[in-house]
């Protein structure tokens, strides 16, 4: 490098050392953050945006109620089971290239799904969407972690990313309501193509090209073990929504998934080129962060799923009004995401911030159990929504940041995929488990209250209340786990950040 070029890379605040040594990152890093967040928003809102449109799609394509579940499950099955593979592919072939392929594939599948003329065509398109989402989501997170290595800038970036992760599903409900009510159900899929065009053009311009220094062989047995295991777990829980837990198709798949995942861990300990190096999971802080991501995602579905049922079925809200009702929660997530990552975590550490956030969410869930037939939104729905939004905004961004902090560059893709897997599996398990528990609670209530004049309506409310209590229990358990596992501030946040600086310095040298 010439002396003039070297001078251009010198950090004026730390003379004589390269800018990249301190993680300042690429020249367009803040534009890159916008691209990454936009692409990830496309992935997370697609988990809920289609849900609002399902009744219209069912009427247009003439499929039964069981088919509605598979429009959602096809996406989550492919997404959840292929995430670790997608993250490793980003490490092997370069993150920018993988990111662009993910955007193009996701957009193409969305266009096919929007143009679907049969139920089978729609379900296949949703599965392909999920597959490309599994490529796109971990790549987006690994791009973020490798672009922002300076602790202060990283905190700001993860505040934005965490706000998207925590509120994307609610935004999907709002957008799905608008598109279904004023256009057509197909636009809940077509809208991805408009987002993808902007994200693709911006990615080509603003993302730096990364070429892996080494390209180890892909761990094929590891891919088969973990993809098969996650598929069986997600399918087993999804199957429990329409079949009893005693059905062999439920416990059989769950048992097979458990065996395959245990085999995967055993294989990773001795594989030459492991898909998920066990060193990624060895850090105590990372274990706490992954637990928080899984539990938070499981708890969140208690809000989105059953509160949607309550607002539309009990209070008579339209899909659009239903979506708008979640906006205060979205706003609270965004505000607290910035506050927690930029101020609270650096000052107090994740050991305080994440458990307090989960405790707030648990309290909000507990308040939702008081909703009745004649409750109103300002007095009874809005306060718990604000509490839950504050709790998720405090805990989710901090947890995602800690899940990838301190991981070496060659493992960033698979570490990011592990964090995404925790979120996806948590949501998938929660959906099936809470639905089953709510249905059982409703049946038992009807059996015990035959003389109740409005037994059906009260049984429905009781089933929702049961789901809220379980979701509150998830968050309470998360409070305990994260309080015990996270290290104190000095060893957790600053030590790992300093280690990341040292690695970046060596990489630049």
Q: Which pLDDT tens digit goes with each residue over 279-322?
A: 878 788 888 888 888 888 888 876 777 888 888 888 888 877 88
Handedness of CA 435, 119, 230, 281 (dihedral sign): negative
Burial of 375 (0-12, 13-18, 19+ CB in 10 A): middle
Q: State yes or no: pLDDT of 504 exceeds 70.
A: no
* Predicted pLDDT at 132: 94
Res. 427 pLDDT band, cuts 50 70 90: confident
* Predicted pLDDT at 280: 79
pTM, rounded to two decimals: 0.76
Q: State yes or no: pLDDT of 500 exceeds 50.
A: no
Spatial contact of 134 and 168, defined as CB atoms under 8 Å apart: no
Going from the C-alpha of 121 to that of each of 42, 124, 272, the distances in angstroms are 21, 5, 40
Distance CA 418, CA 83 (A): 7
Listed ranges 139-153, 286-300, 375-389; the one with the highest mean pLDDT: 375-389
Task: Kindly report which listed range (173-177, 193-197, 210-214, 315-319) carries the lowest average pLDDT score.
Answer: 210-214
229-274, pLDDT tens digit by residue?
Answer: 988 988 888 777 777 777 888 889 999 999 999 999 999 888 888 8
* Predicted pLDDT at 190: 93
Residue whose pair of structure tokens reads 């198709």 in the numeric block = 249
SS3 37: helix
More confident residue, 45 or 266: 266
Res. 213 pLDDT band, cuts 50 70 90: low
Res. 492 pLDDT band, cuts 50 70 90: very low
More confident residue, 38 or 417: 38
Distance CA 225, CA 257 (A): 9
More confident residue, 81 or 190: 190
Task: Kindly report which listed range (58-62, 102-106, 207-211, 275-279) carries the lowest average pLDDT score.
Answer: 207-211
Residue whose pair of structure tokens reads 């709510």 in the numeric block = 438
Q: What Rg do the C-alpha atoms of the chain give, in angstroms?
A: 23
- Measured in whole angstroms, the distance separating CA 459 from the mean position of its chain's CA atoms is 31
Tell me what the pLDDT averaged over the chain comes to. 81
Please list the residues that pair with 18 across neighbouring strands: 10
Burial per residue of 438-461, b for 16 or more beta-carbon CB atoms within 10 angstroms, e otherwise: beebbeebbeeeeeeeebeebbbb
* Predicted pLDDT at 503: 46
Of 110, 101, 108, which Cα lies nearest the Cα of 139?
101
Burial per residue of 212-241, b for 16 or more beta-carbon CB atoms within 10 angstroms, e otherwise: eeeeeeebeebbbbbbbbbbbbbbbbbbbb
Burial per residue of 115-154, b for 16 or more beta-carbon CB atoms within 10 angstroms, e otherwise: ebeebeebbbbbbbbbbbbbbbbbbbbbbbbbbbbbbebb
- ∠191-312-425 over CA atoms, to 5°? 60
Token pair in block for residue 378: 């300002």
Q: State yes or no: pLDDT of 351 exceeds 80.
A: yes
């Amino acid at each position: 490098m010439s002396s003039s070029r070297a001078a251009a890379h010198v950090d004026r605040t730390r003379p004589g050392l390269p800018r990249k040594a301190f993680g300042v990152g690429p020249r367009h890093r803040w534009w890159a953050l916008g691209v990454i967040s936009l692409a990830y928003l496309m992935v997370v809102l697609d988990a809920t945006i289609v849900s609002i449109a399902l009744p219209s799609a069912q009427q247009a394509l003439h499929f039964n109620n069981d088919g509605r579940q598979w429009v959602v499950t096809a996406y989550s099955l492919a997404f959840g089971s292929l995430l670790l593979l997608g993250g490793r592919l980003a490490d092997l072939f370069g993150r920018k290239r993988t990111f662009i392929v993910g955007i193009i594939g996701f957009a193409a599948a969305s266009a096919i799904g929007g143009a679907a003329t049969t139920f089978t065509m729609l379900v296949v398109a949703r599965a392909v969407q999920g597959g490309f989402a599994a490529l796109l989501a971990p790549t987006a997170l690994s791009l973020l972690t490798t672009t922002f290595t300076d602790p202060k800038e990283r905190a700001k970036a993860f505040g934005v990313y965490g706000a998207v992760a925590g509120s994307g599903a609610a935004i999907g409900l709002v957008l799905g309501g608008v598109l279904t009510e004023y256009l057509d159900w197909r636009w809940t899929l077509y809208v991805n193509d408009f987002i993808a065009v902007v994200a693709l053009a911006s990615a080509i311009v603003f993302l730096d090209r990364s070429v892996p220094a080494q390209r180890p062989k892909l761990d094929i047995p590891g891919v088969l073990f973990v993809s098969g295991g996650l598929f069986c777990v997600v399918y087993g829980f999804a199957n429990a929504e329409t079949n009893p837990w005693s059905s062999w198709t439920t416990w059989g798949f769950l048992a097979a998934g458990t065996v395959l995942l245990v085999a995967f861990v055993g294989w990773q300990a001795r594989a030459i080129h492991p898909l998920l190096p066990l060193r990624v999971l060895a850090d105590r802080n990372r274990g706490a962060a992954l637990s928080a991501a899984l539990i938070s995602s499981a708890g969140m579905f208690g809000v989105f799923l059953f509160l949607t049922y309550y607002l539309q079925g009990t209070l008579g809200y339209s899909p659009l009004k239903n979506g708008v009702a979640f906006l205060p929660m979205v706003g609270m997530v965004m505000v607290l995401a910035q506050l927690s990552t930029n101020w609270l975590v650096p000052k107090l550490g994740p050991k305080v911030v994440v458990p307090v956030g989960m405790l707030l969410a648990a309290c909000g869930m507990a308040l939702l159990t008081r909703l009745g037939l004649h409750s109103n939104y300002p007095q009874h729905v809005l306060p718990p929504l604000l509490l839950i939004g504050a709790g998720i905004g405090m805990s989710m961004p901090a947890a995602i940041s800690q899940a990838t902090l301190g991981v070496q560059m060659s493992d960033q893709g698979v570490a990011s995929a592990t964090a995404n897997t925790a979120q996806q599996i948590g949501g998938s398990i929660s959906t099936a488990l809470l639905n089953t528990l709510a249905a059982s609670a409703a049946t038992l209530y009807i059996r015990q209250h035959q003389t109740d004049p409005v037994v059906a309506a009260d049984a429905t409310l009781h089933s929702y209340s049961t789901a809220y209590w379980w979701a509150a229990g998830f968050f309470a358990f998360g409070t305990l786990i994260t309080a015990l596992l996270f290290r104190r501030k000095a060893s957790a946040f600053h030590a790992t950040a300093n280690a990341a600086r040292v690695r970046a310095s060596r990489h630049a040298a």
